[in-house]
Chain A
């Protein structure tokens, strides 16, 4: 019993005063509202489930084709299709009650007021441990990446959310910027409790036979193993500049992939596209990290930012 407790604490991590049983979360937009995966994986063995981005009103999403496979990855332009915050609170969140994993709501607005209103609606929701602000979706016309690439706009969104909720606030950043450090500092100064990155990289695929973009929206967000080295580099840069914890993501498939982010400075990781290929991927990553920690006689907390350079 004592041994188990020691093993579990070796895996735990803390973000904004919240303890997670392990550092592995599911990335928003790749795990539905959680229960879609209930029959394929043990949600109790995750650090947290981060649900699909929520807007005030339900969103239909973009026309198809919405996805296309690319070398070692995929492009998507889903367009933040979601049930809306009210249906989420009434029908989806209660299904996750009683699970050992934490639940984080990801929110998306077209205006700063939308973000603030969403944060307010979620403030007293039972079972939520934090709010992740999506200011980095490349696939919607209004909002999204507009807020994520301008440090002043990003700060305004974070500030508005910060004032509207007592929940810890995580800000999800876009990699489609020149200097990630500027964005990290801007959202920290505005009061974010943690930073998650990277969202997808803007990309495009062309159907040469038809001389048309493959995706109906022309461009989409690139995810999957292809983007991992970019993501690790950006997390490393962000971690060096940050005062708050970093949640790293981008192309994580295995425990070793996740450990790259943790060693480079991330306090937790999110598994995204890998869940599409293997619905049990995030749990396998958590199990692999447990093996590593045991093998190296260390803890996740010790590993965070333990990168040796020079």
Chain B
């Protein structure tokens, strides 16, 4: 519990990296962060917009520039979609924002990193699948998973630009307009990559996640999805970010799970995809 804190963090940078996509850096002597965890940002002192906004942690910056999960700052990747993110995009280095976090569970790194046959099955090839902004939390994950493959699906060139930072991984891209990589959806790439010893980690729009989960299910491999939801508190109190549990899997006897405190990362079979 002590790790979960609310604090004012100084902005170190806040730059547009691709059309309407921004990367913001926040000074923060972080506790240990698990890839897939998120923070709740308050973008204004005023009461409008009222609620905090959830953002997946994109990167942890440490003084040595190493792929550490502790650091002296974090980076978030965000797209300007409404009032809250517009206000955030206008903030300058030196200004402060109120950060609550790190929150949520994150991807189960020990499970994913244990290769070979073990009690969780074989996870020799981790396929990290991101759609649009869903690529954000996968960056930190990719830093820890050296042998994985990154698949990205986006609308076109502007979104595909988000993958530039991924280095040292095999990256495959699909765009809807065909301007970069394969023309079509990321699920086409996933079909080609999936094998019996794969595990999938995915984040993106619900439609994409649904398709990814179905493919992983057919292949009989584990699929960990990071879900998005509107939420008020981020700490399991408001119960606003409920998603319906699947009929099978570990959550079968529970009707709803909270994206903020039970997730945001779930085993895909623990989710009722029809209800989403």
B49 interface contact, C-beta 8 A: yes
The contact of A64 among B47, B238, B241, by CB within 8 Å, is B241
Quick one: closest A residue to B2, CB to CB?
A39
Q: Are B240 and A36 in contact (CB under 8 A)?
A: no
In whole angstroms, how far apart are the Cα atoms of A68 and B241 in the complex?
A: 10
Q: Are A279 and B47 in contact (CB under 8 A)?
A: no
B243 interface contact, C-beta 8 A: yes
Q: Are A76 and B238 in contact (CB under 8 A)?
A: yes
Q: Is the interface of B mostly helix, strand, loop or mixed?
A: loop
Which residues in B have their C-beta under 8 angstroms from that of A72? Answer: 47-48, 50
Q: Are A276 and B233 in contact (CB under 8 A)?
A: yes
The segment from B15-23, B131-139, B187-195, B224-232 that touches chain A is B224-232
Q: Are A65 and B238 in contact (CB under 8 A)?
A: no
Provide the B222-262 mask, 1 if CB < 8 A to any CB of A, else 0.
00000001111101111111111000000000011000000
Q: Are A66 and B242 in contact (CB under 8 A)?
A: yes
Q: How many A-B residue pairs have CB under 8 A?
A: 98
B64 interface contact, C-beta 8 A: no
Q: Are B50 and A81 in contact (CB under 8 A)?
A: no
Task: Return 22 A-B CB contacts under 8 Å, by A number.
Answer: A36-B237, A39-B4, A40-B6, A61-B239, A61-B242, A61-B255, A62-B242, A63-B244, A64-B229, A67-B232, A67-B241, A68-B230, A69-B50, A69-B232, A72-B50, A76-B232, A81-B256, A277-B50, A277-B52, A279-B100, A279-B237, A280-B6
Which residues in B have their C-beta under 8 angstroms from that of A68? Answer: 230
Which residues in B have their C-beta under 8 angstroms from that of A225? Answer: 47, 50
Minimum C-beta distance from B72 to chain A (A): 23
Q: Are A273 and B255 in contact (CB under 8 A)?
A: no
Give the interface of B toward A (CB within 8 A). 1-2, 4-6, 42, 47-52, 100, 229-233, 235-244, 255-256, 275
Which residues in A have their C-beta under 8 angstroms from that of B232? Answer: 67, 69, 74, 76, 273, 276-277
Q: Are B235 and A40 in contact (CB under 8 A)?
A: yes
Minimum C-beta distance from B10 to chain A (A): 19
**Counting chain A CB atoms within 10 Å of each CB, which of B1, B6, B238 scores highest?**
B238
Q: Is the interface of A mostly helix, strand, loop or mixed?
A: loop
Q: Are B239 and A66 in contact (CB under 8 A)?
A: yes
Provide the A270-288 mask, 1 if CB < 8 A to any CB of B, else 0.
0001011111100000000
Which residues in B have their C-beta under 8 angstroms from that of A253? Answer: 47
Q: 3 shortest A-B CB distances, which residue pairs?
A: A39-B1, A60-B255, A67-B240
Which residues in A have their C-beta under 8 angstroms from that of B231? Answer: 67
Q: Are A78 and B240 in contact (CB under 8 A)?
A: yes
A151 interface contact, C-beta 8 A: no
Q: Are B6 and A32 in contact (CB under 8 A)?
A: no
Chain A contacts with B in 201-239, Cβ cutoff 8 A: 224-225
Q: Are B237 and A64 in contact (CB under 8 A)?
A: no
Quick one: closest A residue to B244, CB to CB?
A63
The contact of B237 among A31, A60, A278, by CB within 8 Å, is A31
Q: Are B50 and A224 in contact (CB under 8 A)?
A: yes
Q: Are B237 and A69 in contact (CB under 8 A)?
A: no
Chain A contacts with B in 55-111, Cβ cutoff 8 A: 60-69, 71-74, 76, 78, 81
Minimum C-beta distance from B138 to chain A (A): 24
Quick one: closest A residue to B240, CB to CB?
A67
The contact of A278 among B6, B241, B243, by CB within 8 Å, is B6
Which residues in B have their C-beta under 8 angstroms from that of A74? Answer: 50-51, 232
Quick one: closest A residue to B42, CB to CB?
A277
Q: Are A78 and B239 in contact (CB under 8 A)?
A: yes
A38 interface contact, C-beta 8 A: yes
Which residues in A have their C-beta under 8 angstroms from that of B42? Answer: 277
Minimum C-beta distance from A192 to chain B (A): 27
Assuming the A-B contacts A275-B233, A276-B233, are A76 and B2 also in contact, with contact meaning beta carbons closer than 8 angstroms in the complex? no
Quick one: closest A residue to B83, CB to CB?
A69
Q: Are B47 and A76 in contact (CB under 8 A)?
A: no
Q: Are A276 and B239 in contact (CB under 8 A)?
A: no
Minimum C-beta distance from B247 to chain A (A): 14
Quick one: closest A residue to B254, CB to CB?
A60
Which residues in A have their C-beta under 8 angstroms from that of B1? Answer: 38-39
Q: Are A69 and B49 in contact (CB under 8 A)?
A: yes
In whole angstroms, how far apart are the Cα atoms of A224 and B5 in the complex?
A: 23
Q: Are B235 and A36 in contact (CB under 8 A)?
A: yes
Minimum C-beta distance from B84 to chain A (A): 9
Q: Are B230 and A279 in contact (CB under 8 A)?
A: no
Which residues in A have their C-beta under 8 angstroms from that of B244? Answer: 63-64
